[in-house]
Amino acid sequence: MDKEGHVQDISGQSVKVSVIGASGYTGAELLRLLLYHPFVQIVSITSRQYEGKCLSEVFPHFCNSSISFLKFERYEKEKIAEISDVVFLCLPHKTAFPIVKELYETESQLKIIDFSADFRFTHPEVYEKVYDVKHSAKEIFCKAAYGLPEIFREEIRKKSIIANPGCYPTSVILGLYPAKVSSALDVNFPVIADSKSGITGAGRKALVSLNFCEVNNNFRAYAIENHRHGPEIAEKLGVSSVRFTPHLVPMNRGILSTIYFKTPFSEEKLRTVYRQFYKEEYFVRVKDKPPETCNVAGTNFCDIYVTKDEKTGIGIVVSVIDNIGKGASGQAVQNMNVVCSFPEDTGLQLFSNWI
């Protein structure tokens, strides 16, 4: 895709891809990324709401692209299972697991990348408690990996179902994992993750509370007591619990998580640990200055800054991603690259528009 030589258009190597529920924000972003992917052929996009319409009718920004005239179809499991190598599911939690199940049962060779929370926890019981719903596909939980490649790459390679992580968890787990595995984290002290998200994180919903006028020039915290990403973060980090507080920023894309933890390590040692941990990872950039969300918008990068407040002994991490990039669709493409054995940055060597 670019001049760095990562991509060669090897005929015969391309994968056939379907996108289920392609008319939301993550669906549109996924299609945009797939468009730049040299080894992908999009064979089907589905949407109940837009069935029968052309992609560029619904999303005029795709006009003149190679997928401009692709039609939104009704989802049919047999057809999707038959024509696809990889299926992306951009559906809300609870609506995803029945479809994952039937697709898996129809064609076990399929690679399914699920954007919902339905297969993210290790045990279905935790999911059922956190999401307050019965899970009817517990028997295939063991087929799923948590799709954070920087940490769970080997497991992802082996599984058929990839549970694409939540956006907040991606920013917080990447931000804390190096501290966790290097004993930099004093476990007697609770971890605090104060996260701020752009509004695409709330999805493409018709809600008065998401109206431009009620978001613009305004800032708020929400779901302070019980956001479902808290348990996801805690489980993947292997800590008993995390104090997680999400906030809404009047911007479209981006999450910035400010993470606090007690640490015996010095600032210098923390920085060394982080640089070392991510030194082979293209998508994580450990920075010398606090990062801004504009530098990762539209990309699959996670920019991380770590420092220490010597007076209080608190380690501070600032971690930024694009919530629908590395926090959703970018990460989904990265997961596809892992499961398909493509170079991991294939189709993802996009840089931010910045302003």
| Measured torsion, CA atoms of residues 327, 330, 332, 334, in degrees rounded to the nearest 10 | -120
Residue with tokens 């049919």: 76
Complex with a second copy: residue 28 or 100, whichever CB lies closer: 28
Q: Which of residues 218-277 bind a second copy (CB under 8 A)?
A: 218-222, 224-225, 240-243, 245, 247, 249-254, 256, 258, 260
Contact between 303 and a second copy by CB under 8 A: the answer reads yes
Rounded to 5 degrees, φ, ψ at 260 are: -120, 135
Complex with a second copy: residue 77 or 287, whichever CB lies closer: 287
In the sheet with 40-46, reading across from the earlier edge strand, the strands are 72-73, 40-46, 15-20, 86-89, 111-114, 161-163, 144-146
Catalytic residue among 167, 213, 294, 302: 167
In 3D space, the residue among 98, 124, 121 whose CA is nearest the CA of residue 20 turns out to be 98
Does residue 167 have an active-site annotation?
A: yes
Q: Which of residues 160-189 bind a second copy (CB under 8 A)?
A: 189
According to DSSP, the residues that pair with 247 across neighbouring strands are 196, 221
Residue with tokens 């926890």: 121
* Tokens matching residue 265: 């390590």
Give the shortest CB-105-to-a second copy separation in angstroms: 32
Give the shortest CB-99-to-a second copy separation in angstroms: 23
Q: Which of residues 78-137 bind a second copy (CB under 8 A)?
A: none
Contact between 312 and a second copy by CB under 8 A: the answer reads yes
Question: Of 118-126, 143-151, 155-163, 307-315, which segment contacts a second copy by CB under 8 A?
Answer: 307-315
Question: Of 34-42, 119-127, 156-164, 179-187, which segment contacts a second copy by CB under 8 A?
Answer: 34-42
CA angle at residue 347 from 342 to 350, to 5 degrees?
140
Question: Known catalytic residues?
Answer: 167
